[in-house]
Structure formats: C-alpha cells, structure tokens
Amino acid sequence: MTSTDTHRAIDAVWRIESARIIAGLTRIVRDIGIAEELAQDALVAALEQWPGSGIPDNPGAWLMSTAKHRAIDHWRRNKLLERKHEELGRELEMQQERSVPDLDAAIDDTVGDDLLRLVSFPVILSSRQRLASPSLFAFSAASPPTKSPVPSSSQSPPSPSASFAPSAASPKLASPSRFPASPS
C-alpha cells in the first residue's frame, strides 16, 4: 500500500471513529477540550506510524487505545505537577516560618545615638532659611481670615491674598527702587 492510500485510509477511519473516540475520552478526562487534544494526538501517532508499519486490523480500537494511553500520561503528569506544587508550598511555608523576626528582641534593641539625635532635635535651618521662614508663613494680625477654611458649594474659594498678608516685620525681598527700570 502506498503512503497516499494509507493517508486516505487514515482519513476515512478518523471520520468514522473520531466522535466515538472523543466521547469515550471525555468520560475519562471529564473535559471535552482535553479529550479532543488527546484524540488528535492519537491521529498524529497514526499518521507517523501507519505508513511504515501498515494499517492495523482494527484501526478504531488502535486510535482509542493510543488516545487512552495519552490520557493516562496526561493524568500522571497532572498528579506529579500537583505534588510538586504542594512540596514547593510546604518549603515556602517553612522558609517563612524560619525567617519570622524575633519581635521581643526587636523591641528590646537599643536605639543608636545617631537615630536618637535625629528624633530629639529639631531640624537646623541655615541663616538664610531662618530669615526667610517668618516672612513666608506669617499671618497678618490686623486682618485674620474670616471665612471658613472649607468653602461651601455656593461660596467661591478664598484667594491667597485674603488669607495671607506679609507682616510688618518681614523684610522686603525686592523693591522697585533697587532695580533700574527696563528700557522699553
């Protein structure tokens, strides 16, 4: 028999037996998608083996038994994968249990001098920052803000000039007399 005749015979057997093979595999694996894949794997095996060895006496049974063997392999592979995942999960839990820090030792740990100094002393500002900071955030005592800090829906938000005004003690940062007028 030539390879063309063999391929025609395989095609005919597949058309006749594919629905029966897929239904039988679906009962075994409980998933029609996996059953179809396993049946197609059996068909590929037939296309590889039958041209050299010839068509078996009962080709439908050959396809079904090959597909069942593939299903058993698939089931074994999934069971092995589940066991490996469980082992990895147990190992991960053991590593997490070993890496839990000792909270009592952490509470009793002494604080280093540098950290204590950082927490207990205010931030030291440069002389330029000390001079600038009172004028930047000083409220005017003559006109305190009269509006609520949270505007209602009918009120417009207060302008920055209404809430903040430079105090009398603040230095003038730029006066018009210091800078010459730009030629226009």
Exposure pattern of 88-100 as b/e (b: 16+ CB <10 Å)?
A: eeeeeeeeeeeee
Domain membership of residue 45 (yes or no) is: yes
When pLDDT is averaged across residues 10-33 and rounded to a whole number, the result is 94
Domain membership of residue 31 (yes or no) is: yes
- Domain of 35 in residue numbering reads as 3-71
User: What's the number of domains the chain is made of?
Assistant: 1
Domain membership of residue 52 (yes or no) is: yes
**What radius of gyration do the chain's Cα atoms show?**
43
Phi and psi for 176 in degrees, rounded to 5?
-65, -30
Read off the pLDDT of residues 67-111 as tens digits, 9 standing for 90 and up.
Answer: 999 999 999 999 999 999 999 999 998 888 887 666 666 666 666
Contact 51, 76 (CB under 8 A): no
Confidence of residue 124 (pLDDT cuts 50, 70, 90): low
Sequence-distant contacts of 94-100: CB under 8 A, at least 24 apart: none
Six-digit token string for 25: 């595999």
Domain membership of residue 95 (yes or no) is: no
For residue 140, pLDDT over 90 is answered with no
Domain membership of residue 41 (yes or no) is: yes
Residue with the larger pLDDT of the pair 114 and 67: 67
Domain membership of residue 20 (yes or no) is: yes
For residue 62, pLDDT over 60 is answered with yes
Domain membership of residue 167 (yes or no) is: no
Average pLDDT, the chain: 76
Domain membership of residue 30 (yes or no) is: yes
Q: Please report the pLDDT score of residue 157 as a whole number.
A: 54
